[in-house]
A and B are shown apart, each in its own frame.
Chain A
Amino acid sequence: MNFEKKSEINIDRSLGDFSYDVDYTFDAGVGLSESTIDYICDVKNDPDWVRSFRKEGYRKFLEKPMPTHWATKDLENIVFENIRYYLSQGSIPKRTWEEVPEDVKKTFERLGIPEQERKYLAGVEAQFDSEAAYSNIKAAVGKQGVIFVGSAEGLREHPEIFRKWFGKVIPSGDNKFSALNSAVFSGGSFIYVPPGVKVAHPLQAYFRINAQNFGQFERTLIIADEGAEVVYMEGCTAPKFETATLHSAVVELVALKGAKIQYITVQNWSSNVFNLVTKRGVAYEDAQIKWIDCNIGSRLTMKYPGVVMKGRRARGEVVSIALAGEGQHQDTGAKMIHAADETSSNIISKSISLGSGRATYRGMVHVPKHLKKCKNNTECDALLINTQSRTDTYPAITVRGQGHSVQHEASVSQINEEQIFYMQQRGLSEAAAMSLAVNGFVNDLVEQFPMEYSIELKRLIDLEMEGSVG
């Protein structure tokens, strides 16, 4: 059996591929300079410390070279001067869908957000280009003292918690794109869960890019106080434009003693989006942070969610699914920094490369000096579908001292042809058999997503193979 002969494999992106003409009240114009940053500060009415934080970020952004000595040269195709850094219809999100402007509301209705909110979410924030158009939390959850607002409201209304952690997990100069985000950030969520509060249903954010040549730079900060638990989900889509779009978020998580944070992402940007995201969490004693990350869309994604295990027995986990289709490069991975005794981390990554798609795993596991009994387990499996498909694995593991157990394993395989034949013998078409086999490959990870997401995911990964067989 030879799959090379088959025609293309399509991934269903029809859901997000539409856009409406929207009149923006605020527009920072094209290109980036000090004055762009001042414009954003003025529109958002930023306090002085934020203005200087942004300027500092801008300086670092200019200083830092593109990381092309290790990353793909495709980064050089980002033209920073051509990007629009701020577009909004106002910076105060609405609390009810009725108040949301019609064209924006239409977008989110088409994406099914209000319906999902009614069904199973504890709170929703819906960001449209630079600002959240809608943000609401169920009354019962609000009563527990849970704060779920946009980042701007967070820094205005809750400065005592916000300032304590903002930019502390990921310093603005962490990398070129975290610096850029620090300069022009807008939107994203601020969440605080008080001690002992376990938020029963997930909080969700939906990020939508509507405008062309636009850069979205949301900034999310989640703090789970001692013994608190929260699940946060984010989804994202954009229409497919001819020109490149940039999405560069920074997400910081803080899990205090005994807290648990689960952060779930289903990334389905259109194939013109550069998705360059920095995500990291700090886990204190007995705390757990788990990143569940699924990357299906974008032109290039570079994202390596990390956990710094700062307290004893803290645990970090990354579960990652990447699907690199025609022309896509999913450069994903994980960073696990062990900084206390008896900390443990786990990384499971599965990628699928189709057509000319390229999936890259980059990992970092660090166990520094004088720690005791740290554990890491890393498993990376890659599935290659076509002859032109590509996969890479680049882990870097440092272990100092004895008494630790660190293991990394990776494998590359392709779809078993005998398996396909077996399914065909039962009457399935070759395309359906391939689709089942691919879904089977990631099934154990898909099941870690909440039900609603896993159904959506299975649908997204349902490969449609048209045309010739044999």
Chain B
Amino acid sequence: MNTLSIRHLYASIGEKPILEDLNLDIPQGEVHAIMGKNGSGKSTLAKVIAGHPDYTVTSGDVLLHGESILGMDPQVRARLGFFLAFQYPMEIPGVTIANFIRAALQARLPEGEELEATDYYAELYAKMDTLGIPRSFTARSVNVGFSGGEKKRCEILQMMMLKPRCALLDETDSGLDIDALKVVASGVNALRSSEIGMLVITHYQRLLDYIVPDRVHVMAAGKIVLSGEKDLALKLEAKGYDWVSA
């Protein structure tokens, strides 16, 4: 079964087409990477799957575990198990991390059922420890005043807490030093299992040294132009993206 299937996807922002006939399958249990130049449509793909209202899907389909999600609101997609680690995580002043994740988990429970606070905090603290996030951060507003690395860790923390079936990491490596990269990668690797499918969007192959993908796809002009094994990333690094389009 495919965790994520993208079929002949066309999407645009305003009048401007960005994705054109994009096809991609991520089988359950696999990690795929998408690489590509700036402007190739990588981040658009992430937003379209998440259901960002600025983008219009003009044709094609996106299936999450075989179910079409295109007509759904972002929160419905999220509750079905889709998680997007944002390239630029939003700052939410006045809303603490602890309350935010709690609200997100609560939203996944059936009506009338309350999240067990003690268990929640135990799990939250354990995962923060794994990611090297100080516990004092629970009382801080989501991403407000965080460094680039802290924001990315906070994204991974949310991913670990929300336990998605399908995760998409949009340039999670950008702005991270090597130590932070290792921490983030270990968090991602800890989630790898036969249950989850992951898609990692990145500009550099460096991240793929730590999160080793099952397959690598190259994106250009809104579609996948080349797919291969993980050594494709090394070739790209050596020869540059123009080698693909040539």
Contacts and interface: CB of A to CB of B under 8 A. Distances in A.
5 contacts: A425-B75, A426-B104, A428-B103, A437-B92, A440-B141
Contacts of B158: 426
B60 to A, nearest CB: 20
Interface stretch (A21-29, A188-196, A361-369, A415-423): A415-423
Interface string B192-218: 000000000000000000000000000
A421 B52 contact: yes
Contacts of A443: 93-95, 141
A364 B50 CA distance: 48
Contacts of A423: 92, 100, 104
A436 B100 contact: yes
A423 to B, nearest CB: 7
Interface residues of A, number: 27
**Centre residue among A427, A430, A436 by max chain B CB count within 10 A:** A427
A427 B74 CA distance: 7
A427 B89 CA distance: 15
A98 interface: no
Contacts of B89: 422
B94 A426 contact: no
Interface residues of B, number: 30
Given A421-B53, A439-B94, A430 B104 contact: no
A436 B100 CA distance: 8
A424 B92 contact: no
Nearest to B101: A426
Nearest to A469: B73
Interface string A62-77: 0000000000000000
A462 to B, nearest CB: 11
Interface of A: 1, 416-419, 421-430, 432-433, 436-437, 439-444, 469-470
A419 B90 contact: yes
Contacts of A439: 94-95
**Centre residue among A423, A430, A443, A444 by max chain B CB count within 10 A:** A423
Given A1-B53, A440-B94, A441-B93, A424 B103 contact: no
Contacts of A444: 94
Contacts of B8: none
Given A426-B104, A470-B53, 14 more contacts: A422-B90, A423-B92, A424-B74, A424-B75, A425-B75, A426-B75, A426-B100, A427-B104, A428-B75, A428-B107, A429-B107, A432-B103, A436-B92, A441-B94
A417 to B, nearest CB: 8
A427 B94 contact: no
Nearest 8 interchain pairs by C-beta: A440-B94, A443-B94, A424-B74, A427-B78, A422-B90, A440-B95, A426-B104, A424-B75
Contacts of B86: 422, 425
Contacts of A419: 90-92
A427 B162 contact: yes
Contacts of B75: 424-430, 433
A432 B107 contact: yes
A227 B90 CA distance: 46
Interface string B51-88: 11100000000000000000001110111000110100
B42 to A, nearest CB: 17
B109 to A, nearest CB: 10
A135 B93 CA distance: 41
Contacts of A428: 75, 103-104, 107
Contacts of B52: 421
B108 interface: yes
A432 B75 CA distance: 10
A138 B81 CA distance: 55
Given A432-B107, A436-B103, A440-B141, A424 B94 contact: no
A291 B58 CA distance: 56
B49 to A, nearest CB: 10
A341 to B, nearest CB: 36
A425 B92 contact: no
A384 to B, nearest CB: 16
Contacts of B100: 423, 426, 436
B155 to A, nearest CB: 10
A39 B115 CA distance: 58
Contact of A440 (B84, B93, B107, B162): B93
A426 B77 CA distance: 9
B141 A430 contact: no
Contact of A422 (B77, B92, B99): B92
Nearest to A440: B94
Given A421-B53, A422-B89, A426-B100, A470 B95 contact: no
A424 B50 CA distance: 9
B93 A424 contact: no
A436 B94 CA distance: 9
Contacts of A421: 50, 52-53, 74, 90
Contacts of B108: 427
Contacts of A433: 75
Nearest to A445: B94
**Centre residue among A418, A425, A428, A443 by max chain B CB count within 10 A:** A425
B93 A427 contact: no
**Centre residue among B75, B91, B100, B107 by max chain A CB count within 10 A:** B75
A448 to B, nearest CB: 13
Contacts of A429: 75, 107
Interface in B171-186: none
A417 B74 CA distance: 13
B79 A427 contact: yes
Contacts of B77: 425
Contacts of B101: 426
Contacts of B95: 436-437, 439-440, 443
Interface string B207-238: 00000000000000000000000000000000
